[in-house]
Amino acid sequence: MKTKAYLYLAAAIALGACQAPGGERMRLKGTLTDLPGDTLLVLSQPLTAQDDAGDAHLWQDTLVTQRGKFALDLPSDTLPLQVILCGKTAKGGDFDYDTRISLLVLPGETLTVDGSLTYYTVAGSDFQTAYDAVSPYWKAEEDSLRRLLRTAETTDTDNLSSAELLQAASALLTWWTKLTDKYIEWIRLHPDEPLSVYLAYKCDRRLDEALPLLGDKAKNSAFAPLYRQLDRKLRQQQDAEKAAQGVAEGSPAPDFTLKDLQGRDISLSSLRGKYVVLDFWGSWCGWCVKGIPDMKACYAKYKDRMEILGIDCRDTRKEWKAAVEQHALPWLHVYNEGTPDVARLYAVQGYPTKIVVDPEGTILKIVRGEDPAFYAYLDELFK
């Protein structure tokens, strides 16, 4: 159930009006009149700009109301919290994620929510008041994108042709572009409004267009912690783009040194004289784990002519070592930690990423994702 809950919360962050610990207290209270039962599901997550925040920051709890009245303290944070309230279905079974209240709560705020799950008012939030006042500006685009997302959620993609999948993806991209065009236009007209920081956050892959438009007043508002994260994220994206220009097939592989399982240094340059596969992976990555049997077979077949250097990313050291042992991975392993970040050095944008380096240190092939083309390439290289 947690996976489904996270997906709905992620969608709310993308469309809704609506990490550091130790922030100001946030609180919700109110009265809801149309609950099928007496229980509310509460989901919350900080508005973090970090790409790898993932499911770890999702907080959920159930709350028993008293004749529709409720009050709860939310997890303290320095970042705004996206919060969803859901009631149970009419039959009293699972929680109804489609009929929900979506809120953004800023540090130090106490919000009062009154009404029903389908029609409610919110008091105590300057942000919510401002958002509600201006949201008609992009409502048509937002509604169109929401309808497409709901259709995608209920469609059995296994029965769609490649052309139909491409058409659906194209429609989503078209409406997402139209929506972010509206956000960026509003930011340009209102650079000092705190709401503009939130809209820049929702622009995601167009952050490079939105963030430079913000004025100092918005940057130093209650959204300042989020702005600082967005600024770091944009700088990281720009660094990655710069790195990608130097990491290409036919270019020299940047050297690096990382610690292995025993704490010893291993440098890429120390492996010269053999073909080397740099395998950027993590135990949290489903496709990385799914590809392990094929990687093992490949290594057994060509280990006299190549070495695999597994570069673990985003795991804790404990998780990394446990995964290597659990899956009995027989090749070399290092832990990506320190400066430079080797994943950024190699402009890794997804996992797994496999990079084939020749005995002289030149990049021969870059394969993103668990793609059979990687194994076909090695078969051709070593035939």
The reply to whether 70 and 39 lie within a common domain is yes
The reply to whether 169 and 199 lie within a common domain is yes
The reply to whether 118 and 198 lie within a common domain is no
| pLDDT exceeds 70 at position 3 | no
In a domain, 315, yes or no: yes
The reply to whether 49 and 148 lie within a common domain is no
In a domain, 116, yes or no: yes
pLDDT average, residue stretch 297-316? 95
In a domain, 249, yes or no: no
List, for residues 108-133, the tens digit of each pLDDT value: 899 999 999 888 999 998 888 889 89
pLDDT average, residue stretch 336-351? 88
Q: pLDDT value at position 90?
A: 55
pLDDT average, residue stretch 331-356? 91
Q: pLDDT value at position 22?
A: 42
Determine the structural domain holding residue 279 and report its residue range.
257-381
| pLDDT exceeds 50 at position 62 | yes
The reply to whether 107 and 159 lie within a common domain is no
pTM (predicted TM-score): 0.63
In a domain, 250, yes or no: no
The reply to whether 266 and 349 lie within a common domain is yes
Lowest mean pLDDT among 12-16, 41-45, 95-99, 274-278: 12-16
| pLDDT exceeds 90 at position 23 | no
Q: Respond yes or no on whether the N-terminal peptide bond of residue 191 is cis (omega within 30° of 0).
A: no
Q: What is the CATH number of the domain that holds 11?
A: 2.60.40.1120
d(C-alpha 61, C-alpha 140), whole Å? 33
In a domain, 261, yes or no: yes
**At how many degrees (to 10) do helices 139-154 and 2-15 cross?**
160
Residue 336 CB coordination number (10 Å): 23
Lowest mean pLDDT among 62-76, 201-215, 271-285: 62-76
Query: Which one, of 11, 24, 18, 169, lies nearest residue 83 by Cα?
Result: 18
Domain final residue, candidates 124, 152, 174:
124
**At how many degrees (to 10) do helices 126-134 and 194-203 cross?**
70
CA 112 vs CA 2, 35, 121, 184: distances in Å: 26, 17, 8, 30
In a domain, 308, yes or no: yes
Q: Specify the higher pLDDT residue, 162 or 260.
A: 260
The reply to whether 105 and 144 lie within a common domain is no
List, for residues 151-182, the tens digit of each pLDDT value: 877 777 667 776 777 788 888 889 999 999 99
Q: How confident is the model at residue 51 (pLDDT cuts 50, 70, 90)?
A: low
Give how many domains the chain has, as a whole number.
3
